Amino acid sequence: MTAILELSGVTRAFGERTALEDVSLSLRPGELAFLIGPSGAGKTTLLRLINRELPPTHGEVWVDGIPAHRIKPGRIPALRRRVGVVFQDFKLLPRLTVLENIVFALQVTDLKVSDKQARDRALDALEAVGLGDRGADYPAELSGGQQQRVSIARAIARQPGLVIADEPTGNLDLDTGVSIIDLFTDIARFGAGVLVATHNLQIVRRRQQRTLTLVNGRLVRDEPAGRVGKLGWAQSS
């Protein structure tokens, strides 16, 4: 099966500093991978190359067949419609209801979607994350875990082929974090590729998914699902 995400020889420098160096990896539809590594290893930088927040200095980044590394500016919205993004701090708009947050995100990135279509998709996505009955609430009325579920609903409402998440459990307790990771596993089971950057080795160990380790901008390990052994990075650097 063709990859939903393919990085080939990717280097990203910021002036003198090299954030990523010669990284190659590939993710299939339906596959979830964790991206781990110490602070400053390059996890966020790697995710930012995928939706073209940043261009690579060298190398190729293919997303669902689109060359993100040499994309024309006019095509960037089309690329971003194929990638659902989840952040540590949820980034929900406090003055909009939960449902309106998702509808707004759908409409702002796709001017052609009708009000009815956007609403239907938003409701489906809320159902999928187990919050079908909370659409009329405001984000502040939800727990942290529930707010993260809303932000995941927002990311999957358009049914993107790829979902990327940067520390999605960083603001949550362990059990809530595990339930959020299990939701990502379900999303992968429905066919999306999912890449989750995380510091939370407890969850990574528990869930035994494919695990990519970055150290100093280099991909030093790629362990397959079910074979995640001793974790950490000191011994790999």
Ligand X SMILES: Nc1ncnc2c1ncn2[C@@H]1O[C@H](COP(=O)(O)OP(=O)(O)OP(=O)(O)O)[C@@H](O)[C@H]1O
Of 55, 52, 51, 43, which is closest to residue 14 (Cα–Cα)?
55
Residue 64 CB, shortest distance to ligand X, in Å, is 23
Q: Residue 101 or 198: which CB sits closer to ligand X?
A: 198
Residue 57 CB, shortest distance to ligand X, in Å, is 12
Number of DSSP helices (H) and strands (E) in the chain, helices first: 7, 10
Question: How far is Cα 30 from Cα 121, in angstroms, rounded to an integer?
Answer: 21
What b/e sequence results for 164-195 when a residue is b if at least 16 CB atoms lie within 10 Å of its CB, and e otherwise? Answer: bbbbbbebbeeebbbebbebbeebbeeebbbb
Residue 106 CB, shortest distance to Mg ion, in Å, is 27
Question: 37 is in the binding site of which of ligand X, Mg ion, none (Cβ under 5 to 8 A by kind)?
Answer: ligand X
Task: Find the binding residues for ligand X in span 190-229 (CB under 6 A).
Answer: none
Residue 73 makes CB contacts below 8 A (sequence gap 6+) with none
Residue 95 CB, shortest distance to Mg ion, in Å, is 28
Q: What is the size of the binding site for ligand X (CB under 6 A)?
A: 11
Would you say how long the chain is, in residues? Answer: 237
Question: 17 is in the binding site of which of ligand X, Mg ion, none (Cβ under 5 to 8 A by kind)?
Answer: ligand X
> How would DSSP label each residue in 46-88?
HHHHHTTSS--SEEEEEETTEEGGG--GGGHHHHHHTEEEE-T
Question: How far is Cα 104 from Cα 108, in angstroms, rounded to an integer?
Answer: 6
Q: Residue 44 or 148: which CB sits closer to Mg ion?
A: 44
Q: Are 194 and 163 a contacting pair, CB within 8 Å?
A: yes
Q: Residue 45 or 209: which CB sits closer to ligand X?
A: 45
Task: Find the binding residues for ligand X in span 1-60 (CB under 6 A).
Answer: 14, 17, 19, 37, 39-45
Please report, as ranges, the residues that interact with Mg ion according to CB under 5 A: 43-44
Q: Residue 40 or 145: which CB sits closer to Mg ion?
A: 40
Q: Residue 37 or 139: which CB sits closer to ligand X?
A: 37
61 in contact with ligand X (CB under 6 A): no
Binding region for ligand X (CB under 6 A): 14, 17, 19, 37, 39-45
